Amino acid sequence: MKKVLTRVSPMLLVCLLAAAVYAQNASQINVDAFDKYAESARVAWNVPGMSIAIVQDGKVLLSKGYGARELGKTEKVDAETLFGAMSTTKAMTAVAMGILVDEGKVSWNDKVLKHLPDFRVADPYVTNELKVRDLFTHNAGLGNADFLWAWTPELSADEIAKRMQYAPQAYSFRGGYTYQNVMYLVAGKVIERVSGVSWEKFMAERVFGVLGMKATFPNLSLSRSYQNRSRAHFEIAKKVEVIPEMEADSIAAAGAVWSTSDDMAKWMNFNLGNTTVNGKEILKPATLAEILRPQIVIPTAQFYPTTRLTKPHWTTYGLGWFQQDYRGEMVNMHTGSLDGRTAIVGLIPDKKFGIYVFGNIDHVEVRHALMFKAFDLFLFGDNSRDWSTEAKTMYDEITAATEKRRETVKGFRVHNTQPRLPLEAYVGKYSDPFYGSMDVTIANGKLSLKVNNELTASLDHWQHDTFQATWNKRWWGEDLMAFQLNPITGKVDSLTLSGAVLKRQAGSQK
């Protein structure tokens, strides 16, 4: 067969080259514009330090640090500075489970009891019907149980999982939505059972190692030796301060990963469909599609407040991902939060685009502003909307409304009352199989509460048998704690704190 040679017009070559140069210049213009905007937003929101990664079409457009690792110190954040990933870990746990699904070791629709025969919740029906998929979707009917790890970080993962046998149904099984970290802990236990190794080892070797995420750690303990790390901050009495790290290692599969913007760029590219690494398929495309498929509908009122600005037509949850529409595109996103830290990841798979933002101050929502700014700028060529100012105005209004509600509660306080019993009568040990134990003690004529060696509160009389608990972790603020008296004996029966009711143990009554 005669080979036909096709000559390309010199003019066409010039046009193609010019188009490529224009596209490259346009991309760099967007990067420069976003880079400048991110720094100005950081300053406006008073964030000590951030680290941001942006990827598109398998390329890293930006991976950079902003500000300081620690307020008042000279060390700057860079692309290799370590931050907490917190609840963005959930999608990582979903991928780990997906790998095992691909290997035929587990199914999303397996009953949890098949792999964890000893696991229980309070409702026998839910215990029997709970599927692996349900561990990822926040709709098993269980209330929030974060006190199990936030109040008592010394509890092991096994003990937390065991205590779920006392978790009552808060709503009908698969009939609602309540964010539930502990179910991800249970998912981690399933991964351990079917893989034969710890969740931490599985993540380090089968996920992070394979993807070349060399500065990513499954939990805080394993990250301690890494030197280039940020510090946690919190605004207390209008002053930003460094606070101790909050550990989440006991619920590692829900939110304990630590990483850098360089590594998050690799993670995002993987989730945008680049699941074959060095010639080896790490996750089947169909499995990734299932992870990103909407599993439950979340009422907009229970979604992120930014819906007031984005006005989505739908809000859903996949397997480790919140989801909404934005400008005709499907967004997969998730935040991460612990005391003193924030994170957000946002993916638009159809555009092969992703952004990840780390922050080292508590619940400063510039993360949302930067995510939507990046969507506008890089995908729609639109630099007109000042997301930072809009979001800050909205969140300032939310903060003001919250403070107003607090003041309203204070307005119901009945003044000039006294406890019905002498303070010594409230002293004792209070416990519950689900919530654990707390001690009320007295010293120098004042009550105090001890949850554990790290968490205590001073108790000041509020009204009647209600006291205001002021936590030793100052950034936790105050809560009201009420004692309940037995109507027959007149002695203290129990206490109520943040919805938890703990009974007084026999023999501790004065």
Which residues have CB under 8 Å from 225's CB, separation 6+? Answer: none
Helix/strand/coil percent split, the chain, to 5: 35, 25, 35
- Residue 14: pLDDT band (50, 70, 90) is low
Residues of the chain above pLDDT 90, percent: 92
- The stretch 143-165 carries a mean pLDDT of 94
What is the overall mean pLDDT for the chain? 95
Residue 6 has pLDDT above 70, yes or no: no
- Residue 4: pLDDT band (50, 70, 90) is very low
Nearest CA among 303, 292, 295 for reference residue 354: 292
Residue 2 has pLDDT above 50, yes or no: no
Are 287 and 102 within 8 A, CB to CB? yes
DSSP annotation string for 277-318: ETTEESS-HHHHHHHTS--EE--GGGS-TTHHHH--S-EEE-
For residue 32, what are its two tokens?
């420069």
Phi, psi of 62 (to 5 degrees): -155, 135
Report which of residues 2 and 179 the model is more confident about.
179
- Residue 410: pLDDT band (50, 70, 90) is confident
Are 67 and 49 within 8 A, CB to CB? yes
- Indicate if the alpha-carbon torsion angle 285, 286, 291, 294 is positive or negative: positive
Residue 195 has pLDDT above 80, yes or no: yes
Task: Please tell me the predicted confidence (pLDDT) of residue 508.
Answer: 63
The DSSP 8-state label assigned to residue 244 in this structure reads P
328 three-class SS: coil
For the segment 243-257, what is each residue's pLDDT rounded down to a tens digit? 999 999 999 999 999
Task: Please tell me the predicted confidence (pLDDT) of residue 22.
Answer: 53
Lowest mean pLDDT among 5-14, 228-237, 295-304: 5-14
Task: Give, in degrees to the nearest 5, the angle at Cα 297 between 173 and 284.
Answer: 95
pTM of the entire structure?
0.93
Residue 11 has pLDDT above 80, yes or no: no
Nearest CA among 407, 420, 402 for reference residue 467: 420
Strand pairing report for 276-277 and 280-281: antiparallel
For the segment 281-317, what is each residue's pLDDT rounded down to a tens digit? 999 999 999 999 999 999 999 999 999 999 999 999 9
Residue 356 has pLDDT above 80, yes or no: yes
Residue 21 has pLDDT above 80, yes or no: no
- The stretch 459-472 carries a mean pLDDT of 97
Residue 358 has pLDDT above 60, yes or no: yes
Residue 5 has pLDDT above 60, yes or no: no
Phi, psi of 234 (to 5 degrees): -150, 140
Task: Please tell me the predicted confidence (pLDDT) of residue 8.
Answer: 58
Task: Please tell me the predicted confidence (pLDDT) of residue 27.
Answer: 83
For residue 162, what are its two tokens?
């065991």
- The stretch 73-78 carries a mean pLDDT of 98
Strand pairing report for 322-326 and 315-317: antiparallel
Task: Give, in degrees to the nearest 5, the angle at Cα 354 between 353 and 356.
Answer: 165
Residue 161 has pLDDT above 50, yes or no: yes
For the segment 162-181, what is each residue's pLDDT rounded down to a tens digit? 999 999 999 999 999 999 99
Task: Please tell me the predicted confidence (pLDDT) of residue 510.
Answer: 52
User: What is the end-to-end Cα distance of the chain in Å, rounded?
Assistant: 104
How many CB atoms sit inside 10 A of residue 16's CB?
11
Residue 330 has pLDDT above 50, yes or no: yes
- Residue 1: pLDDT band (50, 70, 90) is very low
Task: Please tell me the predicted confidence (pLDDT) of residue 129.
Answer: 98
Q: Hey, what domains does the chain have and what are their CATH numbers?
A: 15-403 (3.40.710.10), 423-504 (2.40.128.600)
Residue 367 has pLDDT above 50, yes or no: yes
For the segment 41-62, what is each residue's pLDDT rounded down to a tens digit? 999 999 999 999 999 999 999 9
